[in-house]
Amino acid sequence: MERILIENICVGDTPGEASADCVLIEDSVIAGIGRISGDISAEVFDGGGATVLPGFIDIHNHGAVGVDVNAADVEGLMTVAAFLGRHGVTAWVPTLVPDSDENYRRIIGEIDRLMELQTGKPVAQALGVHYEGVFANEKMCGALRPQFFKNFTGSELNELPRLERGVQIMTFAPEIEGGVELAAELSRQGWVGSLGHTKADAATLDAAFAAGARHMTHFFNAMTGVHHRDLGVAGWGLTKEGVTFDIIADGIHVHPEILRMAVGSKGIVGVSLISDSVSPAGLGDGEFEIWGEAVSVENGRTRNIRGSIAGSVITMHDAFLRMRSLGFSNNEASRMASTNPARLLGLAGSRGSIEVGKRADLVGIGQDGAIRFVVVGGMLVNSEQ
């Protein structure tokens, strides 16, 4: 049995609030939290006074460091996983934009291979797949490619390639043909049904909610907004009890003060942070090709040839820091970056919080906000890998 004792740390927000001075890891599991005395025969790691939080979980990620999930092979996906691990992400969901059925089959096969090869490696662990926009409204396509959109007549969901194991997320518009029936079928089959790329009215949204769709994708973006005489999709999401949403906290997709307002309205428990990162993430500004078209990145903002924002170039660490800058505490930002995504995916029993018996997926944050260390499944991530 391998044991690591991480000492000289604070678990939680501040001393006196869920504080501790060490975490004991046995193999891949948290075995102890707090002051541990006696001879435990463990490798000791000095955490340097860092605040230790659960590793970030990114449920919406299209790629990074030049690798596009839709075009990637297993080696490329592993490159993304290593990059994410260095930036505090201990688990992620590779996210597909609309594409041909042939390429869906290819990339699902590559994600299956990734999920086999990643075991025992200190990289962000892929948890499943997120199909974004297969069933979307063409009038709310954003940067997606409407030529690949589908309606739902009963068979289309079963025709999509499936992973051998793992979570499955579907972002869809309930107002398309068969959209409410799709919501019910997603729920029946155990998918996470998420409303997005939609301009549905409240009645249709209510019907999709009743059918099992309880989450919303990149809130405010690719959906109708709030007007004082028109609830809009965003207004429905803010006011509908039982609905949760994820949001891109880059300060570009959503104004920082609107971010603060949205979390205040919905409550921290109802919000998950996502990166929605695309392949240029980690490469700086420049000109790139994404999904068959030219995309520029300038001052951290993506723009395609139609002038639309085409995903983000942030990491979950950036999103975490953005929420801290808006006045949220480490623990509050951590709930949105780790705890809530784990709950959404049905994995709260093993991930998303620091508790004895859960996976040792941790990120150490210095007082300056910088990442001091990352642990994935009990393994320290090499910052140079």
Q: Is the pLDDT of residue 243 over 80?
A: yes
Average pLDDT value over all residues in the chain: 93
Tens of pLDDT along 343-359? Answer: 999 999 999 999 999 99
Measured CA to CA, the distance from residue 286 to residue 299 in angstroms comes to 10
Q: Mapping DSSP to helix (H, G, I), strand (E, B) and coil, where does residue 330 land? A: helix
Tens of pLDDT along 44-76? Answer: 999 999 999 999 999 999 999 999 999 999 999
Tens of pLDDT along 121-155? Answer: 999 999 999 999 899 888 777 767 778 888 999 99
Are the beta carbons of 238 and 262 closer than 8 angstroms?
yes
The DSSP bridge partners found for residue 33 are 23
Measured CA to CA, the distance from residue 358 to residue 194 in angstroms comes to 27
Domains observed in the chain? 55-352 (3.20.20.140)
Q: What is the pLDDT of residue 140?
A: 79
Q: What is the pLDDT of residue 17?
A: 45
Average pLDDT over residues 296-318: 91
Fill in the DSSP letter of residue 339. Answer: I
Instruction: Find the helix or strand (DSSP H, E) in which 135 lies.
Output: strand 128-135
Measured CA to CA, the distance from residue 158 to residue 249 in angstroms comes to 33
Q: Is the pLDDT of residue 239 over 70?
A: yes
Per-residue tokens: 136: 């979307």
The percent of residues above 90 in pLDDT, for the chain, comes to: 85
Measured CA to CA, the distance from residue 348 to residue 191 in angstroms comes to 16
